[in-house]
Amino acid sequence: MAVCILRSHRYGTSSDSYALGTFFTRFDFENVDSDGAKKLTAGLAAKIGESSFVGSEISGRKVTDAGDFSYTDPVDGSVAKNQGLYVKFDDGSRFVVRLSGTGSSGATIRLYIEKHTSVSSSVNLVLDTQADDHTG
């Protein structure tokens, strides 16, 4: 199931403030073969690791940054590494691929896609919120 969320934020002072919108969607691919999921993320990690990847174009968007996400806890300073592979583009969009639950019963691949834009700019969105559950 895809979830689409719009969050608006206000930044700056009253004289120079502007609104930004964050368009976000997440796709969960559950009960994927663990070995296949590991191969997929290893292949993406290898591509991201190529020296020519940053600066290349994907579907007309220039890759500006890519890597393996890590998180530093603001309270105790501990670092959690290998939290997901990310790719950022010159238009402010990015995606993150995160692998979880690689136990014996299958894995879950999470794909996060995000785009930042000014709310005042024209935005044309087509949202497909059809659930993949067709039990009804």
Which CATH number is 92's domain given?
A: 3.30.310.50
pLDDT at position 1 over 70? no
Q: For residue 7, is it within any domain?
A: no
Q: For residue 132, is it within any domain?
A: no
For position 102, what pLDDT does the model report?
58
What is the domain range of residue 47?
Answer: 27-117
pLDDT at position 74 over 80? yes
Tens of pLDDT, residue by residue over 15-53, are 344 445 677 788 889 889 989 999 999 999 999 999 999
Residue 84, Cβ neighbours under 10 Å: how many? 19
Q: For residue 21, is it within any domain?
A: no
Number of domains present in the structure of the chain: 1
- What b/e readout covers 15-41, taking b as 16+ CB neighbours within 10 angstroms? eeeeebbebebbeeeeebebeebeebb
For position 105, what pLDDT does the model report?
73
Mean pLDDT of the chain: 77
When pLDDT is cut at 50, 70 and 90, the band that residue 129 belongs to is very low
What secondary structure does DSSP assign to 49-106, as a single string? HSTTTTT-EETTEEEEEEEE--EE-TTT--EE----EEEEETTS-EEEEEEEEEETTE
Q: For residue 88, is it within any domain?
A: yes
For position 8, what pLDDT does the model report?
40
